[in-house]
Chains A and B, each alone.
Chain A
């Protein structure tokens, strides 16, 4: 048992840090530091820089642009990106669709799509959820019927994150309505968002932001060549994709950055007679969250060290189930601490010109006006990507045998 980073790992962290310092545009860094999401242009520009450096998709096979790194080394890179803070490579492309294509795609699909996914020449979004199929994803209804060498897609997707930016969408569709089990008769399709018959309608969330959308499909023609894997076996792709999400969901690097930043601003922020940071109740709540985050950091490293093992030696690791549940709880808890720190000025709505109806003049510091918006927004964390309740169901069955 060796519980410290090696000299090589520490040197790599320094290398990443100075590369990010030299390459991240100041404007992007400032926007990220204020707690906003990057603009599309910022996201694309930054991912292209990472791609040129060979760091956009280090977890992919080397032949598709990956790096022969240990899981720990990949963790160091992503932690440094999160804690700068800089935009992380687009998850839909790099963590979701890319690995699915590598595992299930045809040679043509791999050659055509993988480089574009890694470089963000194509921006993908995810079409899984439907109004009637959330946690019970397999009950989805959006249908694709074969007609010659095409599928004709009809139906609706919802909660489609950043569909407004997307060039393409990967879809789960029902190709056999008569299948014996819900999980059967589902297929995985890639669809160009410019195809006639697709309508994207924004959903404005309670924080006033436009992040998610409804996407409607009305007789949308999709070439057969865009089927990933086997027809009616799309659930295999979906399961594979969802199981790949684990360690990223803890977002320990991002939460550490948020905490460090909060400490700095809370030292300067009036909390009545003295700065907020000097209020023992605030400080003790903050420390309590930090302690849990430290434990989560260790848990993440344990899971990563496990992933360094050869596949044949790996056992299901109960620690991996902790990441989504605690990771999201802690992100939510940190957002509450920002609200506490912001105090009365936290009541002012953000003046983000891109947000719906929130184009107010500057009345307080960005972090203050964003505190409640972020708190509202992050309630989603324990819902999407498998709600906390779904995670616990899985744990009770898979690890506890209940």
Chain B
């Protein structure tokens, strides 16, 4: 067992950190937020140049063949900088569906375009009634000759407004909440019958509601694997978002500690007060526990036993969520009013952490499911 980064991994971390230092100051980020896409095409091209966008794909498909640890390293840096680009949507989610569910032909057509930064993807799954249940799918896909006709409505599709290709879940057979009968389809965003309405999420990022009105796709649009595929890719996204949360928490903690050392009240730095020292120490305890879980997530992302992987990922989601909430809330509390303002980074970390906490299942969702599944440490 070894928790150190390899030379290559350190290089990856350093080069991304340098890029983000140059391109992602807090003021620069504000400008990206205000732009029409809500993120920066220029930064996206720089990610492509750095090799980040082809990272998880096999070398045979035109990628770098990196694994979950590299994704963790990258996402942690993105969390620190509060990046806005569709990396999770395109590379982690889109990439995950292509790696685990696509044919070699589909991959050879799409992967090089992703790696070059020319193709954006988004995962259209959530529906109004589904909350966080991956198996709750009302959107339908009906056979139509060799192809399919998709009908339904998806909500909160992160980066769905700028994506070129959508990964859409739709029910092929069975009842709305059956585990079987869920199909996964690649749908071009400009297909006839696709209507998108973009909006901002609470952290300023972009998402879309998307309706599918008799959208026709050909037979090759179907990805293989059904709900098991969706769960596997969702777990990889949980691992990536967990690492992003670590970056946010670390940066928020650093910001807070700096503030505690410089801000004076009652004639001395507020960091000299024991009640704040203890809370700062508790923030660090939370950060380290969450970091441990991000590492567990990287370890489990490639676990072959689906149940084992799912149970551990739920634990990851719960524990990172709990600790992120504490760190985010304390960042505001210990800064006082300044962190309540849009002009200061502190509050933006809380916002991003809150969005992450509520993606792919909140704490209660996973706690209920995990306890149903027998918990983490299975009794003999």
Contact = CB atoms under 8 A, between A and B. Distances in A.
Interface stretch (B3-11, B20-28, B163-171): B3-11
Interface stretch (A16-24, A153-161, A216-224, A259-267): A259-267
A6 B1 contact: yes
Contact of B318 (A259, A263, A288, A319): A288
A146 B281 CA distance: 43
B318 A3 contact: no
A107 interface: no
B285 A322 contact: yes
A167 B185 CA distance: 74
A295 B293 contact: yes
Contacts of B4: 1, 305
A263 B289 contact: no
Contacts of B296: 3, 294-295, 298
B282 A392 contact: yes
A39 interface: no
Most A-side CB within 10 Å, residue of B278, B288, B298: B288
A296 to B, nearest CB: 7
Most B-side CB within 10 Å, residue of A280, A288, A305, A389: A288
Interface in B264-296: 271-272, 274, 276-278, 280-282, 284-285, 288-293, 295-296
A401 B261 contact: yes
A11 to B, nearest CB: 15
Most B-side CB within 10 Å, residue of A261, A302, A326, A402: A402
Contact of B6 (A1, A4, A299, A391): A1
A126 to B, nearest CB: 26
A199 to B, nearest CB: 38
Interface string A381-402: 0000000010111011001111
Interface stretch (B112-120, B144-152, B208-216, B372-380): B372-380
B278 A396 contact: yes
A168 to B, nearest CB: 36
Contacts of A86: none
Contacts of B322: 292
B105 interface: no
Nearest to A402: B271
A256 interface: yes
A290 B377 contact: yes
Nearest to B300: A3
Nearest to A1: B69
A291 B282 contact: no
A296 B69 CA distance: 20
Given A318-B288, A401-B257, A290 B375 contact: yes
Contacts of B244: none
Given A264-B380, A305-B1, 16 more contacts: A1-B9, A3-B296, A4-B299, A263-B377, A267-B379, A284-B367, A288-B367, A290-B315, A294-B315, A294-B319, A296-B292, A299-B288, A321-B281, A322-B289, A393-B277, A402-B257
20 contacts: A1-B2, A4-B1, A260-B377, A287-B371, A291-B370, A293-B377, A294-B315, A294-B319, A296-B289, A296-B292, A301-B3, A302-B295, A319-B288, A319-B291, A321-B288, A393-B277, A395-B281, A400-B260, A400-B271, A400-B280
